[in-house]
Amino acid sequence: MSNLARCLGFQERNGEAEQLYRQVLEIRRRVLAVDHPDLAETLGEFAEFLEKMGRCAEAEPICREACSILSTRLPEGHRLRSLNASRLGGILCGLGRYSEAEPLLIHSYEALRDEPGLADHERKEILERIVRLYESWDAAEPGNAYATKAQAYRASLDQAKAE
């Protein structure tokens, strides 16, 4: 069901995707422990879906719950912990909280940059979040070298897209 919700989201069938994500979460909350990593994974995916729909205020507590679960259940540097920290950084960026987003995004990128199990689309999404952070921050506070940082990460993103 989670995979189907994700696919529906990719197809921009957002109403169906959201309904299915909510069903999956209801089932997982009913049958799994409150700190189960599978619950956290679905929470993170749903938060990312909400972020992409521009609903960052709604996505933030959901993503924070996922991060909290994963921080207690998985070791530092684990792929899922870093992916969810990146998601949270993207959400905070969407809320205009750039100084909070930056360390999450940069740390996640550095932790996952050479991760062999990371899917290409995940690597690109992480870089896209960093580029979006610095471009948005530069628009909000011009003249602070954020545009230069955006260009550097844009080059990495362009290279990842070419591979």
8 A C-beta contact, residue 25 and residue 42: yes
Q: How far apart are CA 67 and CA 152, in angstroms?
A: 28
Q: Taking all residues of the chain, what is their mean pLDDT, rounded to a whole number?
A: 94
pLDDT digits (tens, 9 = 90+) for 13-30: 999 999 999 999 999 999
Single-letter amino acid code for the residue at 84? N
* Sequential DSSP letters for 5-56: HHHHHHTT-HHHHHHHHHHHHHHHHHHS-TT-HHHHHHHHHHHHHHHHTT-H
Q: What is the pLDDT of residue 149?
A: 95
Q: What is the pLDDT of residue 118?
A: 82
- Give the residue numbers spanning the domain of 157: 2-162
pTM more than 0.85 = yes
Q: What is the pLDDT of residue 107?
A: 94
pLDDT band at residue 120 under the 50/70/90 scheme: confident
8 A C-beta contact, residue 55 and residue 61: no
8 A C-beta contact, residue 152 and residue 133: no
Secondary structure letter of residue 74 according to DSSP = S
Q: What is the mean pLDDT of residues 148-153?
A: 95
Q: What is the CATH number of the domain that holds 94?
A: 1.25.40.10
Question: What is the percent of the chain with per-residue pLDDT over 90, rounded to a whole number?
Answer: 84
What tokens were used for 40?
């956290």
8 A C-beta contact, residue 47 and residue 39: no
pLDDT of 114 above 90: no
Q: What is the mean pLDDT of residues 38-50?
A: 96
pLDDT band at residue 99 under the 50/70/90 scheme: very high
Number of domains comprising the chain: 1
